[in-house]
Amino acid sequence: MIKNPILPGFNPDPCICRKGEDYYLAVSTFEWFPGIPIYHSKDLKNWELYTHVLTDDQEVDLKKLPSAKGIWAPCLTYCEEEDLFYVVYGIMNSMNARYFDVDNYLITAKDIKGPWSEPVYLHSSGFDASIFHDDDGRKWVVSLEWETREGYEKPGAICMVEYSPEKKEIIGYPKRIWSGGTDRGCIEAPHLTKKNSYYYIMCAEGGTGYNHCVTMGRSANIWGPYEKDPKNPIVTSVPGDSYERYDPDHLKPKYYNSESVLQKSGHGSYVETPDGEVYLVHLTARPFVPELRCTLGRETAIQKMMWTKDHWLRMADGSNLAKVEVPESTLAEYPVAQIPDYDDFDSEELGIWYYAPRMMPQSFADVKARPGYVRIRGQESRTSLNRVSILARKLTSVYARITTKMEFVPVVHQHSAGLILYYDNMNYINLRKYYSETLSQSALSIIQLENGEKTEFLNSRIPIEDGPVYLRLYIEGRKSWFEWSLDGNKYQKIGRVFDTTKFSDEYCKYGEFTGTMVGITCADRVKHKHYADFDFFEYVADEDKNVE
């Protein structure tokens, strides 16, 4: 059996495609670099982080964008006729006054690992844009056309426009073609496919919250009209009908389904194997209950599907409720390398599993300056939307232990470095070493930012000499706390116990749609050049334990 989620932690908005025997899956990254991870599998069960599409933080500039903006919902397709991969992605610039100002781009590559072409600007007509390669050679771009006018149903409808590969631009203006297959409202995430002489439109509806789902429609003509699947939604966490077209809010916690481990299931994309098996990947989440807070963010799950005799796509078990355990395909099992628990930084290249907000980690994290260490150059405060030195990886379980060994000599009080649990620039806890003018020496203390309110826990401050120090973070369900050690064997707890559930879309007021990260960090708020050396980073997680 395949156990869901197949990509735990911050891996939302999945889009899947196949080239030969290889399956590739792309997810959103929002303000994090590198952008658009590509996961690879040969059996649809075992997945490896394979590469990233966006690695140039000058060409794709996300600096100063608020949390939850940036790269939204990439569409990854493979055009067999051209032997070419396509990625369509949006850069969400602003959601002020619900205008949702987004720019959509298209890039291509012969090899999934690149190099990728220069971005082609498509349009700014809504988000979740995707491309369809028709069998006559024409190409079409669909997206949600966001509605801002008074008196019109919000958030909008699905629109379509033709794309000219020769001119590298769209032809004319997008036109509306579909308003959804249910009355759940909040339609988004359109994908067009073709099979059995039908054009199929797959969308997410209900909002990317607790009423989320996958729906389909079909038409003999690409412009429609599209017929609703009579069994919509085809995948969801909350079966049954609901009328929510009047409510543009996406979260809708009243639709939490206590009978399901997987919540928020929607935003789907499907793939067929050479033997005709069908699998659909979709977004999902596992909240703490009763708080209904998803600390791990929106994750990626997979469901086995089938085509019915009357040419509709259904879950293979005949239901529409997303399942934790899913039958494997007939593809041969193909184990793949996983991200290591222990990174000693002995490699000459930084691991591809590390991320940083709004800039490439390599711009401040150097594994060559001191062999066997990563040297992190300090920059602005962790609250900044500009240049922040946080080297992080995705939290994949709420049962984890994170440890590092740091060497750092702060000179002035604006120097600090340490270990961090980070949701966004307004929500984090940071065990840091810094220079205390009050103590006239280095010290350890914890700083918390909770929805923008900063607290420095000076009552638990500890004076410390300038030698190597081990820092540790424990995450045990709802409880998270820090410890420290001088020898790596005997650890002492420092500070209070924090509420893990608060690191979530549902609690954080300044960001949403992402997920919690853990990492190491350094700040030099004077010259942006003082550094800290980290000997290793260890991440041990129990991914067999469910959120409770």
Q: Which of 147, 188, 299, 533 is catalytic?
A: 188
CA gap 391, 34 in Å, rounded? 11
**Can you tell me the distance from the alpha carbon of 173 to that of 179, in angstroms, rounded to the nearest whole number?**
18
Q: Cα(first)–Cα(last) distance of the chain, in Å? A: 23
CA dist 25 and 128 (Å) reads: 16
Does the bond joining 233 to the residue before it have cis omega, within 30 degrees of 0?
A: yes
Sequence letter at residue 188: E
Q: In whole angstroms, what is the distance from residue 376 CA to residue 350 CA?
A: 12
Cα 209 to Cα 211: distance, rounded to the nearest angstrom = 6
Query: Annotated catalytic, 13?
Result: yes
Compute the residue count for the chain.
Answer: 548
For residues 14 and 265, the answer to whether their CB atoms sit within 8 Å is: no
Report d(CA 44, CA 4) in Å as an integer.
Answer: 12
DSSP letter string, 364-406: TEESSSSTTSEEEE-BS-TT-SS--EEEEEE---SEEEEEEEE
Quickly tell me which residue has 């909002």 as its tokens: 207
Residue keyed to tokens 């735990």? 8
Query: Exposure pattern of 241-265 as b/e (b: 16+ CB <10 Å)?
Result: ebebbeeeebbbeebbbeebbbbbb
310 is catalytic: no
Best CA proximity match to 188, nearest among 72, 99, 38: 72
Contacts of residue 20, Cβ cutoff 8 Å, sequence gap at least 6:
none
13, 31, 43, 366: the active-site residue:
13
Yes or no: say if 28 and 48 are a contact pair by the CB < 8 Å rule: no
Task: Give the containing element (helix H, strand E) for 205.
Answer: strand 198-205
Residues 251 and 264: beta-carbon distance below 8 Å: no
- Residue 121: in which H helix or E strand, if any? strand 120-123
Six token digits for residue 486: 């001088």
Q: Which residues are catalytic?
A: 13, 188
